[in-house]
Chains A and B, each alone.
Chain A
């Protein structure tokens, strides 16, 4: 009992952090599945959603602000693809990756300009910021909501991919880019929808994630972005269940390490895990094996 009382709060918050990472990781994994591109700007889109939430909730009621943040973030993801990645569809993959790094640089600098480089206080969202007590551990309600919401959204997403026409398009494009073009699939709209879904999930993750932190600044997206990315690689990049499992594993391990007083190790652990999995099984837990041909 003592053991449970000691570790239960950490596991609880680990599951919550894992859920937030999962929402970001799905964006990485879907884009990689389709474009074979590491979207370095995804962490910054996540951060931009947090900043928009702060500014919008100052001028309008909370519900409207949340709705508008979701819409604006989706639009941001859409325009990043249209402006920075679409002109490079036939370019070498390295060019697109460099363009992604450029976009990340641009978003960070723009946010730094708008906020004056200061850390902005995140909004107190009434119901989900409340403190609740569960099995003797007191925590914010968001800790309980996150995993549940994550699972609901993931189930909806898997349904979308496996059962709808758009999803079929996504699967086709990720299997073979050129053939699906010949089959008359409108590749650009499929890619846009992928970016929109990814950004939507990142925005949801952002609102939940920053509720646990006091402030957002222009570099806030980098660390959670990298960790979610590690989660996506860990689970096998391109695979949605993989990203979710990877995110929960990383979230729980990280908070347990913090609970043991090894806070300095918790970041290093994530990357050590990345290197180990890349060396032992480069395609990740659920990744497909790709043979490189001459």
Chain B
């Protein structure tokens, strides 16, 4: 109860948000675009927060997120394609997994089993991503700064190239897409899964481990002198971040209802990084706000720019593609002039507004501006 009272100004807006989601799920006639933005935004929130855990809270500049999402997506998909569809999906290969976890469990326990099956396969998807992260962490985390960024980017590209190999085709279906697995229809499921995962990440950030991560970010040498095991904590942060990236990859697979390796290019990692930056590096709520804004802008609000019917007569500027040009200019303005993002490294709560007037808002400004 004390926990609830202490954090009431954070919990209330979250509850309001979820109530809204439930209402949107129940009433008919909600614009299709709004649903798309909310679904995709919820999924991107999770991966953005997981990247923020690594980049913002531990200070490890990693660019491997798309690779771990890809692992999660393929794990989820290959374990859940319904056995009736397998011969059609794996047209040229014999599938390695002859079962579908969701189908097996729903055969045992009905629709509760199906839900359990989806949750179980999401966890497996996360674990596969985390396992690869564990393997990679040993050599890669010795590198500093830029080199870490390049090495993780390279790993993501290797994973993407290898997953399309013929030898792995009984699982991954080569370069053809995977489809025919269960996915969620409403809004509530992605919000619930992302919410639970983000809550877990927040718990980690506020634990002893989280404080160790932040200490490493602020000053590695000082953290080591304080008795923090650098290698262990860096690896832990990397593995946890990849675990949740894997889950969000599986959710993205559900959202798209199909999986193909070419979706998970390095451009995807860049987008997630831009979301983290726009939201504020080191702010969980910032990453969530950032991802909804990013998706809403790129998919919805700027959509009219693609429509040549809105052109001012004589200036044929608007046509498909112009939306993304304007969008990237907006991002450049954000990156150049609002470097601390929407939230900086603060968290959103109702007291956010009153605090500002008391002059505490700029409190942490000087801390992260120094170069290491």
Once bound together, how far apart are the Cα atoms of A130 and B165, in whole Å? 35
Give bound CA distance, A226 to B265, whole Å.
12
CB-defined contacts of A97 to chain B, threshold 8 Å: 61, 146, 149
Find chain B residues with CB under 8 A from A272 CB. 154, 158
In chain B, residues 141-155, which have Cβ atoms closer than 8 Å to a Cβ of chain A?
142-147, 149-151, 153-155
B18 at the interface (CB under 8 A from A): no
Most buried by B among A87, A88, A230, A271: A271
Known: A95-B339, A102-B328. A264 touches B164 (CB 8 A): yes
CA A229 – CA B325 in complex, angstroms?
Answer: 26
| The one of A88, A108, A113, A278 that contacts B322, using a Cβ cutoff of 8 Å | A113
A136 within 8 A of B: no
Q: A92-B370, A271-B155, A275-B140 are in contact. Are A98 and B150 (CB under 8 A)?
A: no
Bound Cα distance A110, B320 (Å): 11
> How many A-B residue pairs lie within 8 Å, measured between CB atoms?
127
Residues of B within 8 A of A7 (CB): none
Known: A98-B273, A101-B274. A233 touches B150 (CB 8 A): yes
> A69-103 vs B: 1/0 string, CB under 8 Å?
00000000000000010011001111101110111
Q: List residues of chain B with CB within 8 A of the CB of A229.
A: 150
Q: Cβ of A102 and Cβ of B144 under 8 Å apart?
A: no
Q: Is A64 an interface residue (CB 8 A)?
A: no
B150-A38 in contact (CB<8A): yes
A129 interface contact, C-beta 8 A: no
Asked whether B161 lies within 8 Å of A264 as measured between CB atoms, the reply is yes
Q: What residues on B are CB-neighbors of A84 within 8 Å?
A: 332, 336
* Residue in contact with A116 in the complex, picked from B155, B161, B267, B320, CB distance below 8 Å: B320
- Tell whether, in the assembled complex, residue B332 and residue A99 are in contact, meaning their CB atoms are under 8 Å apart: yes
Q: Does B312 contact A (CB under 8 A)?
A: no
Name the residue of chain A whose CB is nearest to the CB of B153: A226
Q: Is there an interface contact between B371 and A109, defined as CB atoms closer than 8 Å?
A: no
Q: Which residue of chain B is the closest to A267 with respect to CB atoms? A: B161
- Check if B139 is an interface residue, CB within 8 A of chain A: yes
Q: Verify A98–B335 contact, CB threshold 8 A.
A: yes
**How far apart are the CA atoms of A103 and B331 in the complex, in Å?**
9
How distant is the Cα of A104 from the Cα of B336 in the complex, in angstroms? 14
Q: Report whether over half of chain B's contact residues are helix, strand or loop; otherwise say mixed.
A: helix
C-alpha spacing A123/B277, complex, angstroms: 40
User: Which residues of chain A come closer than 8 Å to B154, judged between CB atoms?
Assistant: 230, 271-272, 274-275
| Contact yes or no, A113 B164, CB < 8 A | no
Interface size of A in residues (CB-CB distance below 8 Å) = 46
Question: In the complex, are the beta carbons of B274 and A98 less than 8 A apart?
Answer: yes
Instruction: Give Cα A36 to B146, complex, Å.
Output: 9
Distance to closest chain B CB from A112 (angstroms): 5
Contact between B143 and A282, CB atoms less than 8 A apart? yes
What is the 8 Å Cβ interface bit string for chain A, positions 102-120, against chain B (1 contact, 0 not)?
A: 1111101110111011000
A222, CB-defined interface residue at 8 Å: yes
Return the contact of A278 from the options B150, B221, B369, B371 (Cβ within 8 A).
Answer: B150
B34 on the interface (CB 8 Å rule)?
no
Contact residues, B296-336 vs A (CB, 8 A): 319-322, 324-325, 327-329, 331-332, 335-336
- B274 and A105 within 8 A (CB): yes
Interchain nearest-CB distance for A154 vs B (Å): 23
CA gap between A122 and B36 in the complex, in Å? 38
Could you say which residues of chain B place their CB within 8 Å of the CB of A99?
Answer: 332, 335-336
Whether A106 lies near B370 (C-beta < 8 A) is: no
Mask, A204-237, CB within 8 Å of B = 1, is 0000000000000001001000100110010000
Apart from A95-B339, A109-B321, A226-B266: 7 A-B pairs, beta carbons within 8 A: A92-B372, A104-B270, A106-B325, A264-B162, A275-B151, A275-B155, A279-B143
A and B contact pairs by CB, cutoff 8 A, 18 listed = A38-B150, A93-B371, A102-B274, A105-B328, A106-B329, A110-B325, A110-B328, A112-B321, A219-B267, A264-B164, A265-B161, A271-B154, A271-B158, A274-B150, A275-B154, A279-B139, A279-B142, A294-B221
Seen from chain A, the residues whose Cβ lies within 8 Å of a Cβ on chain B are 36, 38, 84, 87-88, 91-95, 97-99, 101-106, 108-110, 112-114, 116-117, 219, 222, 226, 229-230, 233, 264-265, 267-268, 271-272, 274-275, 278-279, 282, 292, 294
